[in-house]
């Protein structure tokens, strides 16, 4: 069965007389029990923090999406990345983090984990099987993100997970870019796949949410227990919104994916652009790995402009009318940011021009193209 069909039917309440098509939202902190004997039972939900029917339905949808054994939900995508890491480390450990990771994940590792005597070593996202050379006796986790944030390097997941398995190391991927629709990392040996559901599943830039899906029940229990100990809870309204987004994510994603590739193809030949960084474009250095492991693209990509002044870059972004200036992606509206102020790379060669990231929404491709073309007038 195709994903769009599955997403229409997954985690629906049984049809009855006049039942709604999605589970109801139950807002609760206290849950009441009929009998005192039931108060300490471990087999039933005892308190609002432990979720509700709509949370369960959303977890079922994420398990189906990724082929996972268990999902924990979080109030943001960043939390969906940090809690799974915490579930797998202890003081004294060494972890490996791809140099292309989402910035706040890097800050969490460098800052918070460092205070707990956990050392983070950045590695080249294109390292492949050579990651074996970085493994130490105390390496507990390898963090992946493919393609990487801002610069879109594609990682050789089967090569890296094979090394991790040999050494009993947990692998965790930020799989936000593909929405799990064009990459299924658990099938390639990754242990935990994390999503900022804020993006494609929210789809309307008005809700924040995250999910971590584990390959085995043991890992899923470890993530869930860490989240429980730290008081993690996400609102039933947000869980409902994300489940609602699941119903329509496939056609929205397909349109955004097609727009992003069409824009990348056009920009690749544009005289003001030096390089497009889109894994689905044949000019991308990792295009062959992308073709092997992915079944499609995403809605977001970057371009390296020909060298120009910072003033021209700012004028270009300010001149865009249809692309909003703002972070994130996967919403119905297109966005653009200039990346250089936040670009931190220990391993990559310095880019030879300013980096601009485009997130494609649901507008018509030709209108977006015209908007970019008129903004290029700001650059000489
Ligand atoms: C790749 C990636 N991971 C995680 C996050 C964090 O998600 P959230 O904004 O929901 O915390 C983002 C947000 O931009 C992201 O781009």
- Asked if residue 333 and residue 276 are part of one domain, the reply reads yes
- The band of 330, judged by pLDDT with boundaries at 50, 70 and 90, is very high
The reported pLDDT for the residue numbered 364 is: 98
How far, in Å, from the CA of 212 to the mean position of ligand 1? 13
Q: Is the pLDDT of residue 4 over 90?
A: no
The reported pLDDT for the residue numbered 314 is: 98
- Asked if residue 323 and residue 238 are part of one domain, the reply reads no
Tens digits of residue pLDDT in 227-283: 999 999 999 999 999 999 999 999 999 999 999 999 999 999 999 999 999 999 999
- Asked if residue 211 and residue 360 are part of one domain, the reply reads no
How far, in Å, from the CA of 208 to the mean position of ligand 1? 9
CATH number of the domain bearing residue 263 = 3.90.1150.10
pTM of the model: 0.97
CATH number of the domain bearing residue 93 = 3.40.640.10
**Ligand 1: which residue has its CA nearest to atom 13?**
328
Nearest-angstrom CA–CA distance, 274 and 303 = 7
Domain end residue (candidates: 244, 271, 298): 244
Residue among 354, 358, 353 nearest 372 (CA): 358
Torsion angle, alpha carbons of 113, 117, 121, 122, to 10: 20
Tens digits of residue pLDDT in 86-114: 999 999 999 999 999 999 999 999 999 99
- Asked if residue 231 and residue 302 are part of one domain, the reply reads no
Nearest-angstrom CA–CA distance, 137 and 186 = 25
Residue among 86, 89, 81 nearest 144 (CA): 81
**Ligand 1: which residue has its CA nearest to atom 8?**
77
- Asked if residue 215 and residue 153 are part of one domain, the reply reads yes
Q: What is the mean pLDDT of the chain?
A: 97
Tens digits of residue pLDDT in 353-364: 999 999 999 999
Helix (H) or strand (E) holding 142: strand 139-145
Mean pLDDT of 284-310: 97
How far, in Å, from the CA of 196 to the mean position of ligand 1? 5
- The band of 17, judged by pLDDT with boundaries at 50, 70 and 90, is confident
Largest CA distance in the chain: 76
Q: Is the pLDDT of residue 3 over 90?
A: no
The reported pLDDT for the residue numbered 348 is: 78
Domain end residue (candidates: 212, 244, 276): 244
169 by Cβ neighbours in 10 Å (0-12 / 13-18 / 19+) ranks as buried
Tokens 């509700």 correspond to 52
- The band of 345, judged by pLDDT with boundaries at 50, 70 and 90, is confident
- Asked if residue 268 and residue 145 are part of one domain, the reply reads no
- Asked if residue 337 and residue 322 are part of one domain, the reply reads yes
Classified as helix, coil or strand, 182 is coil
**Which residue segment(s) compose the domain that 339 sits in?**
248-378
- The band of 70, judged by pLDDT with boundaries at 50, 70 and 90, is very high
- The band of 349, judged by pLDDT with boundaries at 50, 70 and 90, is confident
CB atoms within 10 A of CB 20: 10
Q: What sign does the CA torsion over 320, 338, 197, 255 have?
A: positive
Phi, psi (5° rounding) for residue 182?
-120, 0
- Asked if residue 112 and residue 36 are part of one domain, the reply reads yes
Classified as helix, coil or strand, 355 is strand
- Asked if residue 154 and residue 114 are part of one domain, the reply reads yes
Tens digits of residue pLDDT in 136-151: 999 999 999 999 999 9
**Ligand 1: which residue has its CA nearest to atom 14?**
328
| Cα angle, residue 365 at apex, residues 360 and 371 outer, rounded to 5° | 85
Looking at the structure of the chain, the number of domains it has is: 2
Mean pLDDT of 160-164: 98
Q: Is the pLDDT of residue 193 over 90?
A: yes
- Asked if residue 146 and residue 31 are part of one domain, the reply reads yes
- Asked if residue 118 and residue 49 are part of one domain, the reply reads yes
- Asked if residue 140 and residue 82 are part of one domain, the reply reads yes
Q: Is the pLDDT of residue 78 over 90?
A: yes
How far, in Å, from the CA of 103 to the mean position of ligand 1? 9
Q: Is the pLDDT of residue 350 over 90?
A: no
Nearest-angstrom CA–CA distance, 182 and 191 = 18
- Could you give the percent of the chain with pLDDT greater than 70? 100
Residue to substitute in 78, 147, 212, 238 for testing ligand 1 pocket (most ligand atoms within 8 angstroms of CB): 78
132 by Cβ neighbours in 10 Å (0-12 / 13-18 / 19+) ranks as middle
Domain end residue (candidates: 244, 273, 304): 244
Residue to substitute in 146, 198, 208, 339 for testing ligand 1 pocket (most ligand atoms within 8 angstroms of CB): 198
Tokens 């008129």 correspond to 374
Pocket of ligand 1 (CB under 6 A): 76-78, 81, 102, 149, 174, 176, 196, 198, 208, 210, 327-328
């Amino acid at each position: 069965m195709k994903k769009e069909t599955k997403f229409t039917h997954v985690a629906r309440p049984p049809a009855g007389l006049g039942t709604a098509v999605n589970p109801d939202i139950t807002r609760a902190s206290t849950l009441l029990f009929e009998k005192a004997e039931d108060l300490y039972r471990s087999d039933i939900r005892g308190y609002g923090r432990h979720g509700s029917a709509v949370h369960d339905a959303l977890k079922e949808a994420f398990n189906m999406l990724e082929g996972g054994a268990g999902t924990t939900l979080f109030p943001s995508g960043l939390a969906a990345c940090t809690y799974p890491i915490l579930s797998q480390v202890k003081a004294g450990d060494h972890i490996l983090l791809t140099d292309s990771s989402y910035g706040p994940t890097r800050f969490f590792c460098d800052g918070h984990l460092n205070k707990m005597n956990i050392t983070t070593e950045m590695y080249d996202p294109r390292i492949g099987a050579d990651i074996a050379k970085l493994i130490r006796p105390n390496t507990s986790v390898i963090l992946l993100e493919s393609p990487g944030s801002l610069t879109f390097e594609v990682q050789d997941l089967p090569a890296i997970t094979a090394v991790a398995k040999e050494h009993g190391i947990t692998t965790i991927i930020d799989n936000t870019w593909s929405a799990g629709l064009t990459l299924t990392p658990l099938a390639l040996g990754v242990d935990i796949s994390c999503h900022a559901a804020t993006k494609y599943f929210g789809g309307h830039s008005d809700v924040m949410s995250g999910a971590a899906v584990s390959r085995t029940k043991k890992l899923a229990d470890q993530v869930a227990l860490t989240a429980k100990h730290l008081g993690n809870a996400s609102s039933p309204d947000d869980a409902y919104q994300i489940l609602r987004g699941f119903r329509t994510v496939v056609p929205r994603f397909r349109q955004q994916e097609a727009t992003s590739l069409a824009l990348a193809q056009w920009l690749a030949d544009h005289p003001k652009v030096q390089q497009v960084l889109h894994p689905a474009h044949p000019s991308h250095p990792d295009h062959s790995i992308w073709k092997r492991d992915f079944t499609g693209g995403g809605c977001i990509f970057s371009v390296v402009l020909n060298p120009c002044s910072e003033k021209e870059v700012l004028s270009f972004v300010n001149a865009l009318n249809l692309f909003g200036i703002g972070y994130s992606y996967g919403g119905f509206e297109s966005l653009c940011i200039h990346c250089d102020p936040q670009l931190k790379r220990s391993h990559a060669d310095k880019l030879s021009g300013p980096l601009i990231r485009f997130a494609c929404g649901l507008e018509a491709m030709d209108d977006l193209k015209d908007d970019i073309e008129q903004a290029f007038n700001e650059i000489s």
